[in-house]
């Protein structure tokens, strides 16, 4: 074994024991002869993901009709975009930390054992006119780190492809249901207008310290057209209005119903709401650019996929070099919007999607809550919402049974 390979193993061992391995979920290792080309492809796509997506769209006929719902089309491109959006939220599958660490190590060994790797380094030494052992070691360390960074980028790309593929079925089902919901909303003249949808999107953009236009470009850089978010919000907002108009008069919550709920609610939960929250912050450098933000958000998404409840947050923060904070019990009024609303609507133990603040990329977790004097009103609203959900699901099921759905 050459001295160079020994150093590869030494440096890679250190790196793979740290955040590089912890941030990667991979598929089976490729043969060494494919690694260089794969890294080249990954770098090209990371440099311009929007162009990569456009090329694939063109190659696969993204505008071809994949599904007809009552003669209204859903295109293959819409399904791909929705699958990509779901993958950003952590849907579509994944792998265990031990599994991806083993695969990352296997991939790295294949790179190290490839004779061409040693040849590349020797050529790099010649180009840099290395004259001393000190210069050789410095160049060697940089070469290993760059090689490993390219490997990590490729593994992330493979992970993303796998997740998107796993999300396609869910994306198609979601789009079919949304098409049915919008058709019913059009029939009842209950479709949410563009201004309402833009208010929701603008609130998300503001939370991430961006204008709506900047947020759209940011999402495009992540491989998702903002219109897929717009379509999803419009369908859900319109459907809520459909349900309200059709079933509002049918939902009646009695005082006895509320009393029964309160009888089963602990006194500690009958007070003004306080949220038990924790947060991970991945710091950003002073000079920000979209590439750095996108990379940090991708790292945060990787942590979200490993999330196993609030108790796992300290270790996750440490693995990514982030800052962990147990913020304790907080009044909702002390938490900025829209994080406040997202936390109030979350379930205990939920982790919110990554957001960008002045401090960096943040992951908020709702670890518990307690409520006070408004418990009666809260119980009433909860019961009403449950009734609406039952009626809404039954109505959607009936509409779907009557719909003509052709999957091509």
pLDDT, tens only, 27-81: 333 333 333 443 444 344 333 434 444 444 434 445 799 999 999 999 999 998 8
Given a contact cutoff of 8 angstroms between Cβ atoms, the answer to whether 78 and 65 are in contact is no
Residues 134, 8 share a domain: yes
Is the pLDDT at 6 greater than 70? The verdict is: no
Could you tell me the two tokens for 130? 């290395």
**Which is nearest to 232 in space by CA: 275, 280, 174, 286?**
174
Residue 345: inside a domain, yes or no? yes
Residues 150, 61 share a domain: yes
Is the pLDDT at 97 greater than 80? The verdict is: no
Residue 218: inside a domain, yes or no? yes
- The Cα 66–Cα 298 span in angstroms is 30
Is the pLDDT at 394 greater than 60? The verdict is: yes
Which of 72-86, 145-159, 329-343 holds the top average pLDDT? 72-86
Which of 21-30, 165-174, 261-270, 364-373 holds the top average pLDDT? 165-174
Residues 58, 89 share a domain: yes
Residues 289, 209 share a domain: no
Residues 232, 123 share a domain: no
Reported as a pLDDT band with limits 50, 70 and 90, residue 284 is confident
Residues 217, 164 share a domain: no
The C-alpha R_g of the chain, in whole angstroms, comes to: 25
Mean pLDDT of 259-273: 53
Is the pLDDT at 149 greater than 80? The verdict is: yes
pTM, rounded to two decimals: 0.47
Is the pLDDT at 23 greater than 50? The verdict is: no
Task: Give residue 352's pLDDT.
Answer: 93
Residue 112: inside a domain, yes or no? yes
Total structural domains in the chain?
A: 3
Given a contact cutoff of 8 angstroms between Cβ atoms, the answer to whether 273 and 333 are in contact is no
**Which is nearest to 196 in space by CA: 235, 222, 224?**
235
- Of 150-164, 257-271, 310-324, 352-366, the poorest mean pLDDT is in 257-271
User: Which residue is associated with the tokens 């929701």?
Assistant: 200
Residue 46's domain comprises: 3-178
Task: Give residue 264's pLDDT.
Answer: 61
Is the pLDDT at 280 greater than 60? The verdict is: yes
Residues 172, 201 share a domain: no
Residue 389: inside a domain, yes or no? no
Mean pLDDT of 351-364: 88
Share of the chain above pLDDT 70, in %: 73
Residue 188: inside a domain, yes or no? no
């Amino acid at each position: 074994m050459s001295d160079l390979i020994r150093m590869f193993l030494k440096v890679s061992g250190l790196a793979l024991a740290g955040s590089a391995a912890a941030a990667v979920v991979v598929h089976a290792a490729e043969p060494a002869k494919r690694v260089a080309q794969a890294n080249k492809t990954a770098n090209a796509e990371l440099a311009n993901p929007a162009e990569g997506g456009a090329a694939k769209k063109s190659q696969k006929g993204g505008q071809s009709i994949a599904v007809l719902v009552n003669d209204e089309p859903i295109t293959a491109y819409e399904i791909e975009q929705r699958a990509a959006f779901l993958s950003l939220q952590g849907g579509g599958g994944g792998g265990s930390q031990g599994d991806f660490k083993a695969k990352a190590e296997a991939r790295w060994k294949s790179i190290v054992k490839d004779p061409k790797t040693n040849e590349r380094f020797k050529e790099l030494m010649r180009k840099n006119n290395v004259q001393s052992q000190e210069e050789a070691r410095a160049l060697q360390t940089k070469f290993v780190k760059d090689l490993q960074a390219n490997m990590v980028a490729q593994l992330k790309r493979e992970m993303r492809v796998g997740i998107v593929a796993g999300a396609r079925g869910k994306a198609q089902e979601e789009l079919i249901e949304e098409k049915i919901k919008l058709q019913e909303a059009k029939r009842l003249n209950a479709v949410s207008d563009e201004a309402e949808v833009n208010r929701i999107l603008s609130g998300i953009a503001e939370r991430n310290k961006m204008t709506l236009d900047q947020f759209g470009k940011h999402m495009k850089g992540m491989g998702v057209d903002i219109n897929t978010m717009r379509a999803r919000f419009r369908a859900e907002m319109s459907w809520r209005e459909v349900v309200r108009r059709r079933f509002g008069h049918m939902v009646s919550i009695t005082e006895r119903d509320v009393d029964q709920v309160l009888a089963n609610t602990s006194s500690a939960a009958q007070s003004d709401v306080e949220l038990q929250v924790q947060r991970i912050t991945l710091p950003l450098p002073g000079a920000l650019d979209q590439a750095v933000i996108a990379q940090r958000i991708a790292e945060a998404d990787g942590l979200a996929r490993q999330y196993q409840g609030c108790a796992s947050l300290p270790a996750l923060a440490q693995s990514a070099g982030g800052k962990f904070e147990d913020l304790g019990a907080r009044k909702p009024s002390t938490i900025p919007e829209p994080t406040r609303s997202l936390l109030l609507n979350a379930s205990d133990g939920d982790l919110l999607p990554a957001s960008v603040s002045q401090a960096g990329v943040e992951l908020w977790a709702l670890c518990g809550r307690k409520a006070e004097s408004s418990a009666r009103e809260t119980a009433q609203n909860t019961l009403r919402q449950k009734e609406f959900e039952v009626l809404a699901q039954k109505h959607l099921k009936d509409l779907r049974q009557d719909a003509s759905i052709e999957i091509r």
